[in-house]
Chains A and B, each alone.
With several copies, the nearest count.
Chain A
Amino acid sequence: MIKKVLVANRGEIAVRVMRSCREMGIETVAVYSDVDRKSMHVRYADDAVCIGPAPSSESYLRKDKIIEAAKLTGANAIHPGYGFLSENAEFARMCEKEGIIFIGPSPYAIDTMGDKITARKTMIAAGVPVVPGTTEPILDIKTAIEVIMKIGLPVMIKASAGGGGKGMRLVKREEDIISAISGARSEAKAAFGDDAVYIEKYISSPHHIEFQILGDKHGHVVHLFERECSVQRRHQKVVEETPSPIMTPEVRMKMGADAVAAAKAVNYYGAGTIEFIVDDNLNYYFLEMNTRLQVEHPITERVVGVDLVKQQIHIANGLPLAFKQEDLKQSGHAIEVRIYAEDPDNNFMPSPGIIKHIREPLGLGVRHDGYVYEGYEIPMYYDPMISKLIVWAETRVEAIARLKRALFAYKITGVKTSIPYLHRILEVPDFINGRYNTHFIEENHEYLKKRNNCTERCMDVAAIAAFVDYITKLDSLQVEPTTKELGNSWKDFGRKRSILRL
């Protein structure tokens, strides 16, 4: 039985996992890099162990140090979160060998699904539809060109070991083939240490729809319905929702059954996601499986009413699933947006820095999974995601209104964030009507541009606020005590000074 969980991650997901552990009476261990000493997961955990310098390769990716930390603190299980070591079969194997429960699937499932080409073959064997393309990894450019000419342009080049848009290139014109392949390979090499790529037919105007699945160690697998993730910028999801606005009950049932079949094909246990590419006629193809918790898992939690992290822990404990497929249903509508520390009006340039002020959205139907706080410095070494805002309402229309209301109340200063950009997405007619695919962002470029909605009065008020702040500071300086007083009453003086915020 799991008594103490080390969370081999940082940021919001580390805190989110620890929350469920705490509800289950399970102790938690944080691991952290030098720059993360003040990070929320260190503060939230029962125990905390420093595992190295800031770069992930020297800390959060150091399997040996993480396992050492688990032993040191007596943690008998490790939850990998998402990213970092979450889809690393070797790490899962090392845990197994050390007698530590890896809260995730078997190394075999990670390996099989982690390699895109093996995964394709396995899916074909299991009768799950896949996108036309290569079944072998491409290691040289010559073969790549031959294959592409055979499949026909446009094609997508993808890293075999990849995920999250890294090492991915779309090729539409013959003259771009070489640069795209070498770009994808070097990116894949840098990100995953493996430059093998594969090639797939590119499906134009595709929807990205994924199915959450849960499997136990007794061979039971259920799906928890779909998530619509087509709002993407450079292959990174920006908005996710469930149910998908284009889904029908019939297709949902079919896709769900295929998702379960896909998981069963690798004897999957734990939480996982089957990603499908779907065309406008609801033809769907297996894209890949993520053998871990997804960033966007909370929308499923809200609509299905299941705590996925708790389920992961129950499964890791060897318990059978507490529900059957027919026990699960979707209720209402949930949407998640990801808040990034980036400047949407300046080519989404990352914006690390110190959080000067934060006010989080609250109230009915709003869940906010974050980890930053006032005075926290968002480090430049890791993913710039600040938090996830998840809303639920009875209907999609109401959920969009609620999300706008929550974004209205969500204030962060000190770093630039994607909040204004997310608000603009919610006002694009194609989004409101639920008629969008993965080209949504590029097709709605004009709608998503920054608009100056500020009237003359609004600008005047902005100027006046700064002006009043400035003259108030000046005033305070003039009532400053003289030098003589300074010696005796440094306390009062300090008080006055701390109000100045100069």
Chain B
Amino acid sequence: MSYEVKINNRHSTIELLSREGTKFNILIDKNYYELDIAEVEKGVYSILHENRSFNVELVEGKNSKSYIVNTLYEAFDVEIIDAETKYLMNRRKDDGEDQNVISSPMPGKVVKILFKEGDFVKAGETVVVVSAMKMESEYKVKQDRKIKRILVKEGDTVKGDQPMVVIE
């Protein structure tokens, strides 16, 4: 059985041809690999290919099908695309709403909200200021926009990726 896998922006087809203990034969697109794959620590894999030793660390992403994969000095977003994922991806495309949400990419504290619902903001103006780890980050709009909804208030603690402001 073959799976679709997304590595950053590259889409590949990956297939497990055979497996015996730690020995795997895998086809990824047109490349055939004979590998020795061992999970050495929780989420840490040692992979030998043609005697070359690779070390790969996996951190689970948003769900059990998405990973951040760290190689020596690079990190990749890898997503295993099965039927469920495909369905969700299609639905998201139709919706498109999430483009209009200002979210904090990291946990922090809302220091300042400079507008209120219904306000018009000019391109480049700061809407929200969030503080985390002694640094203040300003979240601006790129184009002229209208504030539709404000989901947080000053002093709130926000989680990573939590929507703060909905804009039109």
Contact = CB atoms under 8 A, between A and B. Distances in A.
B7 A380 contact: no
A424 B68 CA distance: 21
Contacts of B74: 420, 452-454, 458, 462
Contacts of A322: none
Interface residues of A, number: 63
Contacts, number: 181
B42 A501 contact: yes
A467 B64 contact: no
B160 to A, nearest CB: 7
Interface residues of B, number: 64
Given A356-B59, A470-B64, A462 B133 contact: no
A465 B56 contact: yes
A341 B47 contact: no
A464 B55 contact: no
A413 to B, nearest CB: 5
Interface in B48-75: 48-49, 51-60, 63-65, 67-75
A464 B31 CA distance: 12
Interface stretch (B89-97, B100-108, B116-124, B146-154): B100-108
Nearest to A467: B14
B88 interface: no
B167 interface: no
Contacts of B12: 460, 463
A44 B72 CA distance: 11
Contact of A349 (B26, B105, B134): B105
Contacts of B107: 352-353, 380
Given A357-B43, A413-B43, A491-B63, A459 B7 contact: yes
A72 interface: yes
B106 A43 contact: no
Given A48-B51, A465-B58, A459 B44 contact: no
B58 A469 contact: yes
Nearest to B60: A501
A356 B69 CA distance: 13
Contact of A471 (B7, B16, B69): B16
B71 A461 contact: yes
A37 interface: yes
Given A381-B133, A453-B73, A466 B53 contact: no
A38 B44 CA distance: 11
Contacts of A471: 16
A414 B64 contact: no
Contact of B133 (A29, A341, A413, A416): A341
A38 B58 CA distance: 17
B133 A350 contact: yes
A77 interface: no
A341 B106 CA distance: 11
Given A350-B106, A357-B43, A47 B53 contact: yes
Nearest to B36: A37
A470 B4 CA distance: 12
Contacts of B41: 357, 373-375
B132 A423 contact: no
B137 interface: yes
A408 interface: yes
A42 interface: yes
A232 interface: no
B17 interface: no
Contacts of A235: none
B35 interface: yes
Interface in A447-502: 452-454, 456-473, 491, 501-502
A46 B38 CA distance: 16
B39 interface: yes
B33 A47 contact: no
A465 B37 contact: yes
A45 interface: yes
Contact of B5 (A73, A341, A351, A463): A463
Contacts of A462: 7, 56, 69, 71, 74, 76, 78
B23 to A, nearest CB: 11
Interface in A40-63: 42-49
A277 interface: no
Contact of A49 (B5, B35, B51, B56): B51
Interface string A423-458: 100000000000000000000000000001110111
A-B residue pairs, 7 tightest by C-beta? A350-B133, A466-B78, A465-B56, A384-B133, A380-B132, A466-B67, A462-B69
Interface of B: 3, 5, 7, 10, 12, 14, 16, 22, 24, 26, 28, 31, 33, 35-49, 51-60, 63-65, 67-76, 78, 80, 105-109, 132-135, 137, 160
Interface of A: 29-30, 37-38, 42-49, 72-73, 341, 346, 349-353, 356-357, 373-376, 380-384, 408, 411, 413-414, 416, 420, 423, 452-454, 456-473, 491, 501-502
9 contacts: A38-B38, A341-B133, A349-B137, A357-B41, A374-B41, A414-B59, A463-B69, A466-B67, A468-B45
